[in-house]
Amino acid sequence: MNSAIICLLSFLLVSCSGNDNSSNSNSLLENSNVLDGYLSEADFNELFPHANERPSSISDADRILYSYNNMSEGLDLREAFSIFMSEGDDTLKRLELAAILANWAQETTGGWDAAPGGYTSWGLCFQEEDGARSSSDHCYFDPNNKFQPTKKPEIGAPCFFGRGPIQLSHNANYGAFSEFLYEDMLVLLDNPDQILRDGALAFASGYWFWTTYSGSPNVPNKTCHEVMVEVGAQGFGKVINIVNGGIECNVELRPLSNLYGKKIRNRADHFHYFATYLGVESELPLRPEGVREDNQIWNDYYRAVLVGCIQ
């Protein structure tokens, strides 16, 4: 039996070329069909006009890592991702899409307060965590968990700073994602920059975190997908608590002048940006008019959007 037939019959989601480390974007799955009618390539380009403006510094990185095609192919990489946007009515599906895009946008934003087009339009700008490759403070390596690379990391690769739309960080997450995708934790623990070379793989890391990760101590035994399905727009704060709760959540709303006070408001603003585009902004608390301020009206609004994150 020739190799092509073997590959077809096996239904293995690895490359038939013999490279077991490939993410194999030529998947037999069609999970990405769920995007039909909700997000097109034209929509993606309109929402992310500054995508990839800050590419990775490695020479063989995918210069168009963030693209609609890669977003779709990443969703098709594993059956587990089919749960995304699969539950609830049309409104709930739009809210879940807005929530995942909002967190990807905030994690990768290159925007600032006076950014052209508004800071919410600068999502998917950074392919890797800004300044982390040369910083000893951004290796995010824990020698005590079970996900250990072959060699202890040094500054730069293979350190475990943020990469891809969710800015996958820490050796525990790289190892768990690698084990999920390849049944071998070392594939990405020993080569975390692979996420920057393969756009479908980069987006798969985002879907993996969204649909399967339930290890947050702040929202125990729940995935981002589950909290959005359970409570809709009111689940957005809990999603942040899963994504970055140890830094941004479980405190009073910080002042707008505070770094994290601004970041948490930016997440809420990204959610409003995408929810508005997708036609479900009425599900969110009514946003005050004008430029945001650090006053009672605006802070009450942000507390309402961020319930489940801000105390």
Contact 208, 81 (CB under 8 A): yes
Contact 292, 266 (CB under 8 A): no
| Distance in angstroms (rounded) separating the CA atoms of residues 148 and 174 | 10
3-state secondary structure of 128: strand
Q: Which amino acid type is present at position 181?
A: L
Catalytic residue among 107, 128, 129, 281: 107
Q: Which amino acid type is present at position 159?
A: C
| Distance in angstroms (rounded) separating the CA atoms of residues 233 and 62 | 34
3-state secondary structure of 253: coil
Residue with tokens 């800015």: 167
Q: Where are the alpha helices (DSSP H) in the chain?
A: 3-10, 41-47, 68-75, 90-107, 171-182, 186-189, 194-197, 199-212, 224-231, 236-248, 259-277, 296-305
163 phi, psi to nearest 5 deg: -140, 145
Q: Among this protein's residues, is 107 annotated catalytic?
A: yes
76 phi, psi to nearest 5 deg: -85, 0
| Distance in angstroms (rounded) separating the CA atoms of residues 34 and 30 | 8
Q: Which active-site residues does the annotation give?
A: 107
